[in-house]
Amino acid sequence: MVPRITHHHRRPTVRIGIPSEIKDNEKRVSLQPDGAAELVHHGHEVLVQSGAGVGSRFSDEEFTAAGARVVATADEVFAADLIVKVKEPVPAEYHRFREGQQLFTYLHAAADRSLTDFLLERRIDSIAYETVQTPDGRLPLLTPMSEVAGRMAVQAAAHHLESPAGGAGLLLGGVPGTPAAKMTIIGGGVSGTEAAKIAVGMRAIVRVFDTNPSRLAYLSDVFEGRLDLVQPNRARLAAYVADSDVLIGAVLVPGTKAPKLVSREMIASMRPGSVAVDIAIDQGGCFETSRPTTHSDPTYVEEGVVHYCVANIPGAVARTSTLALTSATLQYLLTVADHGVRGAAQVSPVLAAGLTSLGGQLVSEPVGQAHGLPVARAGDLLA
Active site residue 108: yes
Q: Which of 108, 160, 307, 339 is catalytic?
A: 108
Task: Name residue 229's beta-bridge partners.
Answer: 208
Burial 196-234 (b: 16+ CB within 10 A, else e): bbbbbebebbbbbbbeeeebbeebeeebeeebebbeeee
Rounded to 5 degrees, φ, ψ at 36 are: -60, -40
Active site residue 81: no
3-class SS letters over the chain: CCCCCCCCCCCCCCEEEECCCCCCCCCCCCCCHHHHHHHHHCCCEEEEECCCCHHHCCCHHHHHHCCCEEECCHHHHCCCCEEECCCCCCHHHHCCCCCCCEEEECCCHHHCHHHHHHHHHCCCEEEEHHHCCCCCCCCCCCHHHHHHHHHHHHHHHHHHCCHHHCCCCCCCCCCCCCCCCEEEEECCCHHHHHHHHHHHHCCCEEEEECCCHHHHHHHHHHCCCCCEEECCCHHHHHHHHHCCCEEEECCCCCCCCCCCCECHHHHHCCCCCCEEEEHHHHHCCCECCCCCEECCECEEEECCEEEECECCHHHHHHHHHHHHHHHHHHHHHHHHHHHHHHHHHHHCHHHHCCEEEECCEECCHHHHHHHCCCCCCHHHHHC
Cβ atoms within 10 Å of 124's Cβ, excluding its own: 23
Task: Name residue 305's beta-bridge partners.
Answer: 302
Residue 239, CA distances (Å) to 187, 235, 270 in order: 16, 6, 10
Q: Which of 44, 282, 338, 339 is catalytic?
A: 282
Active site residues: 108, 282
